[in-house]
């Protein structure tokens, strides 16, 4: 039930990490 919510939150965190690393390298 809440595992889906956690999975969605995890995906959002991963996307934020990618944005931050893209900013760092570009």
Q: What is residue 3's predicted lDDT score, i.e. its pLDDT?
A: 85
Q: What is residue 7's predicted lDDT score, i.e. its pLDDT?
A: 93
Instruction: Report in angstroms the alpha-carbon separations of 10 from 25, 26.
Output: 23, 24
Q: What is residue 26's predicted lDDT score, i.e. its pLDDT?
A: 62
Q: What is residue 2's predicted lDDT score, i.e. its pLDDT?
A: 78
pLDDT, one tens digit per residue, over 1-26 is 678 899 999 999 999 999 988 877 66
**Dist CA 21 CA 12 (whole Å):** 14
**Dist CA 3 CA 10 (whole Å):** 10
Q: What is residue 9's predicted lDDT score, i.e. its pLDDT?
A: 95
Q: What is residue 11's predicted lDDT score, i.e. its pLDDT?
A: 96
């Amino acid at each position: 039930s809440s595992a889906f919510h956690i999975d969605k939150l995890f995906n959002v965190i991963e996307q934020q990490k990618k944005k931050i690393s893209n900013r760092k390298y570009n």
